[in-house]
A and B are shown apart, each in its own frame.
Chain A
C-alpha cells in the first residue's frame, strides 16, 4: 500500500464513458454515410455561396463548390476514424472532439441537402447570428441573475411584455429609441418584482418565475387583444431598426457581412456579451456578485450586502431581457403578435447552462441554437424531403440533447436557487 492519493485531473473519465463516446462517434459516422451517402449521382456538386446577397464587400470571394459524393464520404470517414481512435485510445478531452464530429456531421448534411443546388452559406451564418440574438440576450439575463444566486425562469414573460412595450411606445412616439427604452424599463420592473419575491420574500424561485411567465403571457395577450387589434396603425406599427453597416469592417470578406452588417439590437447583444464578461470577472462588483452566488454567507460576514447585490443583478438581467424582448418587435417585424417569443426565453436558459454560466460561453451556445433555427428555414427553402414541422422541432430537440449531455458536468453557482436567510 504505497502511493499517496492519486490526483489525476488529466486522466480521461472512466473507461466506460470514453468507450461510449467512441461508440457514439461511430454511430454518427455510419449514419452520415448511410443517410447522406446513398443515392448520390456522381459528379453532383453543391455550391456554397460565400458572398452575401447584397454587394458591400471589397472583394468577391468565389463560391465554394464541392463535389458531393467525395465530400460526404470523406466527412463520414473522418467521423468513423475519430470514433475508432476514441474507442481504442481515448482523447484528452472528448468534448472538443464532439464539436468536431458535430461539425462534420452538419457539414455533410448541408452538402447533401444542397446537392445539385446552390446555397448561400454566408447568408445562413448571418441569419444565425440574428436569430441567436434574442436567445443570447435571454441567456445573458440568466447569467447575470444566476451568478448572484437567483434563478430566473420567467424570462419568457419579461420578453413578451417588453416586446409589447417597445412596439407600442415606438409606434406612439414614432421613436424606436424610446421604444427600446420602454422595453428596458419594462424588463427592469418585472425583474424587480421577481427580485422582491425571490430575495426578500424568499419564495421558491421557480414558482415565482412561472407566475411571471403566466402573467406576462396573459397580460401581453390581453393588451394585444384589447387594444392593439382595433388600432393597428396607432399602436402596433413601429417599423424596425435599420441595418447599420460599420464602415471598413463590414468589407472584410466572410466575417464582415456576418458581424458588421446588423441592426442596433444585434450590436447591443455583442457588446453586452463582452461587457458582462468583463463585469463579472474583472471588476469589484463582479467579484461580489460571484461571491454572493457561491457562498452568500461568506460574503455577508465580510460586509457585502447580499440582498442589494442580488437585487441589482436580477434587475440588470431584466433590463438585458428587455432588450431581448425589443428584438422581436422593433428589431424584427415591427409589430406584436401573441406568444411571439415561442420559447426563446427557455432556449436562452439552455444556452446559459451549456455555456457554463459564462457570458461568452452563453453567447457561443446561443449561436449554436441560432444556427439550428436558421438551418430549418434554409432546409425548407431547399425543399429537403423532411416535413417542415419536424424541422421546426430541431431547436427544441437540440436543446434537450445539449442539456442531457452537459448538465452533469456544468456547475451552476453553488448558492443558485437558494434564498438567503440572514442567519
Chain B
C-alpha cells in the first residue's frame, strides 16, 4: 500500500511548501512563472558560458603564467585572461554568425560587380549554424517527445546513425527516379530506420519493464558496431575509405544557395516537423494520451489508456525523429555516411530537450543556440586551439543547471513560484 497522503490533501506537502517559503524570504526579486520559464534557461546558458570562460582561462598556459605574477602585474593577468576568453568566444561567434564587416563588404562587392563569391563567404557562418541546427531540431524533438511520455531516450545517437544509413542506402541504390519520388522515399527510409531501432527498447520497456536508459545505450553500441560492419562491408563504396557511395542527386535536399554554402531545405523540413510535433502533442488525442502516460501512468491506465501501447508509440516516434535527423544530414549536407557520423548527437539532444523544456518551440530555439555553438566550436578549435569537447562541458553544465534550478536561483537570488516541471523519469522501470 502506498503512503497515505491524507495530510497532503488539504495542504501542499508541508516540507516542500516550507522550503519554497524560506527561499522566498531569502530572495529579493520576484518574477512571474511565465517570465521565469524563459529566464531560467537563459541564465543557465549564461552561467555555463561563464564557467566555460573560466575553464578556457585556466587551461591556457599564457594566462596561467600571467597569474603567477599577479601581485606584481595584476593588469597583465587580467588582460591575459580577457584576451584568452575573448579570442575563444570571439572565434566562437565569428565562426557561427559571421562578422558584420565581412557582410558589409560583401554587399558592396555585389552591388558594384555582381560577384556573389564574397557574399557567399560572408553568409557562410550563419548558414552553417542553421545547417548544424537542423539535425539538432530533429534529435531534440526526438528526446523531448520521449520525455513527454516519461521515457528517457538516450539512444538518439544510434537511431540517428541507422536512419542516416537507411536514407543513404535508398539514396544511392535507386537510380533513375524522379526527385519527387526519390527524395520523400529516402526521407521516409531514414525515419523508418530510426523508428525500428527505437522500437526494440520500446517494446522491451513495454513488455518487461526493462529501463530504456540502459537498453537504448546498448542499442547505441550495437548500432556503432553494425555501422562499422556495414561501412566496411555491404555498404562500402569502392576505394579504401569506409564510407557509403554518394547518394544520387535526385535524393538530395535542394540547396538554396550556390557552393560552398550548404544551407538546404532540410532546415525548413525541420521547422515543419517541429510544428507537426506541436500539433500532435497538444492538439490530438494521441498526444494527449502520451502526455498523460508521462505525467501519471497509473491514472492513464485507470482511465482506459494503454500504457504499453503509448510507450511503444512514443519510442517509435522518437526514433523516427532521430532517424530524420540522420537523414537530413546525409541528404542535405554530406551526401555520404562515414564512421563516427552520429557522434555526440545523442547527448546533445538530451541537453536540447531539457533546455527547451520538452516543448517543440523551446527545442527549436535551443537547437538554434546549439547550432551556433557547434559551428562556432570548429572555428574555436582552429583559431584559438580550444578542443571541441568544451561544448560537451557547456552542455553538461546547462543540463545540470536546468535540472537543479535551485542553483541558478541561489546564484541570482530569484524568488520561487510554483513553476510547472516536466516529469522525467521514475527509477528502474516499475
Contacts and interface: CB of A to CB of B under 8 A. Distances in A.
Contact flag (A, B; Cβ within 8 A) = yes
Interface of A: 151, 153, 197, 201, 203-204, 206-208, 210-219, 221-223, 225-227, 297, 342-343, 346, 349-350, 353, 387, 389-390, 392-393, 396-397, 399-400, 403-405, 407-408, 412, 416-418, 421-423
Given A151-B427, A153-B213, A396 B392 contact: no
Given A222-B390, A226-B387, A387-B229, A211 B396 contact: yes
Residue of B211, B219, B404, B429 ringed by the most chain A CB atoms within 10 A: B404
B221 A412 contact: no
Given A206-B425, A393-B221, A407 B403 contact: no
B217 A221 contact: no
A57 B154 CA distance: 48
B399 A214 contact: yes
Given A197-B403, A201-B406, A400-B210, 14 more contacts: A151-B427, A204-B403, A206-B424, A207-B399, A218-B393, A221-B387, A221-B389, A222-B390, A222-B392, A226-B59, A399-B218, A403-B211, A407-B211, A412-B428
A422 B18 CA distance: 11
26 contacts: A151-B428, A153-B213, A206-B213, A206-B424, A207-B425, A208-B400, A210-B152, A210-B154, A210-B347, A210-B350, A215-B396, A217-B347, A218-B391, A218-B395, A225-B387, A227-B59, A346-B217, A349-B214, A387-B229, A389-B225, A400-B201, A400-B218, A403-B208, A403-B210, A404-B208, A404-B210
B181 to A, nearest CB: 33
Contact of A396 (B222, B387, B389): B222
Interface in B394-430: 395-397, 399-400, 403-404, 406-407, 424-430
B304 interface: no
A407 B208 contact: yes
A204 B425 contact: yes
**A interface, by DSSP: helix, strand, loop or mixed?**
helix
B108 interface: no
Report, nearest first, the 8 A-B pairs whose CB atoms are least far apart.
A218-B392, A417-B427, A215-B396, A214-B396, A389-B229, A225-B387, A222-B389, A221-B389
B43 to A, nearest CB: 16
Interface in B311-328: none
B28 interface: no
Nearest to B397: A215
A217 B428 contact: no
Contacts of A201: 404, 406-407
Contacts of B175: none
A219 B393 contact: yes
Interface residues of B, number: 56
Contacts of A221: 387, 389, 392
B111 to A, nearest CB: 44
A197 B402 CA distance: 12
Contacts of B59: 222-223, 226-227
A186 B338 CA distance: 36
B428 A353 contact: yes
Interface in B106-157: 152, 154
Contacts of B152: 206, 210
B404 A393 contact: no
Nearest to B400: A211
Given A207-B403, A210-B350, A407-B210, A217 B392 contact: yes
A193 B341 CA distance: 32
Contacts of B3: 297
A231 to B, nearest CB: 11
B389 A225 contact: yes
B204 interface: yes
B159 interface: no
A212 B219 CA distance: 21
B47 to A, nearest CB: 14
Contacts of B392: 214-215, 217-219, 221-222
A28 to B, nearest CB: 19
Given A222-B392, A396-B222, A421-B15, A211 B403 contact: yes
Contact of B215 (A218, A392, A403): A403
Contact of B427 (A203, A215, A412): A412
Contacts of B209: 407-408
Contacts, number: 156
Contacts of B210: 400, 403-404, 407
Most B C-beta atoms less than 10 A away, residue of A204, A207, A214, A342: A214
Contact of A219 (B214, B389, B429): B389
Contacts of A227: 59
A229 to B, nearest CB: 9
B186 interface: no
B140 to A, nearest CB: 15
Contacts of B350: 210, 214
B368 interface: no
A197 B221 CA distance: 28
A396 B399 contact: no
A412 B218 contact: no
A392 B225 CA distance: 7
Contacts of A412: 427-428, 430
B88 interface: no
B34 interface: no
Contacts of A400: 201, 204, 210, 214-215, 218-219
A416 B393 contact: no
A207 to B, nearest CB: 4
A380 to B, nearest CB: 13
B300 interface: no
Contacts of B13: 421
Contacts of A423: 14-15
Interface centre among B208, B214, B229, B395 (most CB of A within 10 A): B214
B16 interface: yes
B354 interface: yes
Contacts of A353: 428
B393 A208 contact: no
Contacts of A151: 427-428
Contacts of B430: 412
A217 B389 CA distance: 8
B233 interface: yes
Interface string B195-235: 00000010010001111011101110110011011001100
Contacts of A408: 208-209
B16 to A, nearest CB: 6
B396 A203 contact: no
Contacts of B293: none
A408 B428 CA distance: 10
B363 interface: no
Nearest to B401: A211
Contacts of A416: 427-428
Interface in B372-397: 386-387, 389-393, 395-397
A310 to B, nearest CB: 15
Contacts of B261: none
